[in-house]
Amino acid sequence: MSIEVRNLVKHYTPGVPAVRGVSFTVETGEMVGLLGPSGSGKTTLLRMIAGLEPQTAGEIYIHGRLVDPLPPQRRGVGVVFQNYALFPHMTVFENIAFGLRVQRMRRAEIRERVAELLRLVRLSGFEDRYPSQLSGGQAQRVALARALAPKPSVLLLDEPFAAIDTKVRKELREWVRRVHEEVGITSIFVTHDQDEAFEVADRVMVFHDGELLQFGTPQQILESPATPFVATFVGDVNEIERQVVGGAVSLGPIRLSAHPFQDGARVRVVIRPTDVVVAPPDGPPVGPRARIRRKIAKGPVHAVQVELQDGLVLRAFVPREAQWALHPGAPVSVWIKDYQTFPA
């Protein structure tokens, strides 16, 4: 257990919690993605771990040691800030060497370590540039090298790729993952982008309104979201509220078991678009009749809206290979592969 947080609370203004009683443990060497909507307290959590913001209550342990009384200088936590926060008056070399000079490392050693780090971030030869002469991706890598220079045991990254375009972003995140493994460090990185989190993180935390809703592997979160919020946040899911009748809820012609809810209870049914199977009208598999309303190509799938007989509209993903007539108005049959129920 590299980072352990117990009942962490933060109020910037008394009575308005930004983080409300969060507990979790991150294992050594893990890479954790921190996912949540804007204003949910992700930055606040990171800043508290780094010691940049005092918590209102709760404890933070790093490698089993209580770090609450320690200032940011002595926590051994590296931080990559959202806008990189490179020192504009220092060259790339000086930026990376800053943390080493603070440790009073010998000059020859500093040179060696900086060169090593620049190789790691593939920026050898950029020593004498100023931050204003770097591209966004390069600046990002310098920021990473600078944070890694003093060999922190924990690395915190706050939306490290936010300012970078999608293509470079994809490369960078895979590369950050590699660096994470090479260096053997424990990392938490904040992101808005679920694909990013699921692709590179070992485990993902989902934050909402200052609360940690779920902490698990990408698979756990995708397959068994702990709350409707997690379910809706991680996928663009179908969410339908119904009353339980005869131990089941009905979505038009489709009846789904509502176990363990009692009759009369109101429940929220959450169905991921990938779990809505759309088949040709004559199957297989054969399900209730529906009609295609809209079709949008979306990466490797078609995102379609299917309208059930009573007017209920479900979103579904259909693999591109499905070559049969998916044009709007086409009759199809629909079948629900998996779903979840939550109290309404």
Partner 1 sequence: MSTVSVLQPAPAAPRRWAVHASRPLTLYLGLAAVGSYLLLLVVLPVGSVIRMALVHGWPGFWHPLTDPLGRAALGLSVTAGLLAAGINTAAGTAVAFALVRGRFPGRRLLDTLLDLPLGVPTTVSGLMLLLLYSPVSPIGAWLAARHLAVAYAPAGVVLAMAFVTLPYAVRTVQPVLAGLDRRMEEAAWTLGASRWRTLREVVLPMVWPGIASGFCLTFSRAMAEFGSVVVISGNLPGQTLVAPVYLYGLLENDDPFGAAAMSVDLLLIALAAHAVAAWLEHRHAARLRGAGAVAGGPGQGAPVSPTARASARPAAGRQAVLHAGRLAAALARRIGRWAAAGVFTWVWLGVMLLLPLAGLISGALQAGVAGFVQSLAQPEAVASLRLSAVVTAWTVLFNVVFGLWTATLLTKHRFPGRWLVSAVADLPFALSPVIAGLALLLVYGPNTGLGQWLQAHGIHVVFALPGMVMASLLVTYPLVVRELVPALQLTGRAAEEAAYTLGASRWRTFVRVTLPSIRWSLYYAVVLTVARSLGEFGAVLVVSGNLVGVTQTAPLYVYQATVEHNMAAADAVSLILASASFVMLLFMQFLRRKGGLAHEH
Ligand X SMILES: Nc1ncnc2c1ncn2[C@@H]1O[C@H](COP(=O)(O)OP(=O)(O)OP(=O)(O)O)[C@@H](O)[C@H]1O
Where do contacts with Mg ion occur on this chain (CB under 5 A)?
43
Of 28, 23, 111, nearest to 63 by C-alpha is: 28
Instruction: Between 35 and 86, name the residue whose CB sits nearer to partner 1.
Output: 86
> Closest approach of Cβ 39 to ligand X, in Å?
4
Q: Which C-beta is closer to Mg ion: that of 46 or that of 254?
A: 46
Q: How far is the CB of 112 from partner 1 (least distance, A)?
A: 12
Number of H helices, E strands in the chain: 8, 20
What is the separation of C-alpha 78 from the centre of its chain, rounded to a whole number of angstroms? 20
Of 218, 186, 181, 168, nearest to 77 by C-alpha is: 186
Question: Beta 154-158 vs 77-80: how paired, if at all?
Answer: parallel
| The only residue of 33, 36, 41, 131 in contact with partner 1, by rule CB under 8 A | 131
Distance CA 276, CA 311 (A): 16
Residue 22 exposure: Cα atoms within 13 Å on the Cβ side? 36
Q: Give ∠ CA 46-50-51 in degrees, rounded to 5.
A: 115
- Cα distances from 215 to residues 26, 71, 341, in angstroms, run 10, 28, 20
Residue 147 interacts with partner 1 (CB under 8 A): yes or no: yes
Q: Which is nearer to partner 1, 75 or 242 (CB)?
A: 75
Task: Report the residue number, 44 or 95, with the smaller CB distance to Mg ion.
Answer: 44
**Residue 274 to residue 339: CA distance in whole angstroms:** 10
SS3 173: helix
Task: State the CB neighbour count (10 A cutoff) for residue 247.
Answer: 13
End-to-end Cα separation, the chain, in angstroms: 36
Element at 107 (helix H, strand E): helix 107-120
* 39: partner contacted, choices Mg ion, ligand X, partner 1, none (Cβ within 5-8 A by kind): ligand X
Least Å distance, CB 270 to ligand X, is 23
Applying CB under 8 A, does 70 fall inside the site for partner 1? Answer: no
Comparison of 35 and 92: residue with beta carbon closer to ligand X? 35
Give the nearer residue to Mg ion in terms of CB position, either 82 or 227. Answer: 82
Position 71 contacts partner 1 (CB under 8 A): yes
Provide the minimum distance between the beta carbon of 2 and Mg ion in the complex, in angstroms, as a whole number.
22
74 binds partner 1 (CB under 8 A): yes
Is residue 119 at the binding interface for partner 1, with CB under 8 A as the rule?
Answer: no
Q: Which of ligand X, Mg ion, partner 1, none does 38 bind, CB closer than 5 to 8 A by kind?
A: ligand X
- d(CA 96, CA 103) in angstroms, rounded, equals 13
Task: Based on the shown chain and the rule CB under 8 A, indicate whether residue 85 belongs to the binding site for partner 1.
Answer: yes
Distances (CA, A) of 224 to 201, 214, 250: 17, 10, 22
Q: Total binding residues for partner 1 by CB under 8 A? A: 46
When the beta carbons of 42 and 75 are compared against ligand X, the nearer one is: 42
Q: Which option in Mg ion, partner 1, ligand X, none does residue 40 bind, with CB closer than 5 to 8 A by kind? A: ligand X
Binding residue (CB under 8 A) for partner 1 from 58, 72, 252, 281: 72
Interaction of residue 83 with partner 1, rule CB under 8 A: yes
Out of 54, 64, 88, 299, the residue judged to bind partner 1 by CB under 8 A = 88
**What residues line the site for partner 1 (CB under 8 A)?**
50-52, 71-75, 77-79, 81-83, 85-89, 91, 93-94, 97-99, 101-103, 107, 110-111, 114, 125, 127-135, 146-147, 149-150
